[in-house]
Amino acid sequence: MEQSSPKAVAGIYAANLVEDGMVVGLGTGSTAYFAIKRLGERVADGLNISAIPTSEASAKLAKELAIKLIDFENISSIDITIDGADEIDNNFNMLKGGGGALLREKVVASITRRQICIVDNSKIVDKLGKFPLPVEVIPFGWPVVARQIEALGGNYQLRQRNISENYITDNGNYILDCNFYPIADAPKLEKDLKMIPGVVEVGLFIQMAHTLIVGNDDRTCTVKEHK
């Protein structure tokens, strides 16, 4: 994807907001990729940051770019996290996990002071859920979880890596991609799903975004702050 694509424009804009000395959460996915690349350039130019990655892929990229990574033992909060989304609604609720990193992304978001959501405008929706909702589950007994998801009115697909292998997250779990569209009450659905034994995390990020940066086709960005 080129540097002038909407995803690149949003990612680069967000990376330019990072200031010296900050602790930065590194998102996962094709939009976060551009932010991490830009941060790498800025680090090479002397920017001093410490970063927490949300996936093995983002950790690998950060290491290649000589971005300093730290552990949670060393910090109690994160200044800025820059991450993508599969969907975001008008209330800044996000649906995430298309790239499979929802669990680490949510842990990182939970201690982030300013969560910056970077998207192209195809991700802005009125109602969440057209994109299948990722639910991370432990492999043991996953069909039990799946039946509970059906009981809540959804249906699911067990995510595959290829024709004969299940997709495995960085945490050793499976993902059920669920259809609850249109999600009428996202906070309630998140709670109901998290009550199912065997569910590790749900790709609904309720009120977790503080800033939304949308990359436009004309290489500009639209920036909105959550009120």
Site residues (vs ligand 5RP, CB under 6 A): 27-31, 83-86, 96-102, 105
Q: What is the nearest approach in angstroms of ligand 5RP to the Cβ of residue 147?
A: 25
Least Å from the CB of residue 217 to ligand 5RP:
16
What are the φ/ψ torsions at residue 71 (nearest 5 degrees)?
A: -100, 165
Smallest gap from Cβ 87 to ligand 5RP, in A, equals 9
Nearer to ligand 5RP, 62 or 143 (CB): 62
Compare residues 108 and 196 and give the one whose CB is closer to ligand 5RP. 108
Dist. CA 208–CA 206, nearest whole Å: 5
**What distance lies between CA 90 and its chain's CA centroid?**
17
Shortest distance, position 7 Cβ to ligand 5RP, whole Å:
6
- Decide if 41 is catalytic: no
What's the number of CA atoms in the CB half-sphere (13 Å) around residue 57?
A: 12
Non-local (6+) Cβ contacts of 172 within 8 A are 139
Active-site hit among 2, 64, 105, 136: 105
Supply the DSSP symbol for 111. T
CB of 34 or CB of 180, closer to ligand 5RP: 34
Q: Which is nearer to ligand 5RP, 31 or 173 (CB)?
A: 31
215 and 13 Cβ atoms separated by less than 8 Å? yes
Helix or strand or coil: residue 42? helix
Q: Which residues are catalytic, by number?
A: 105
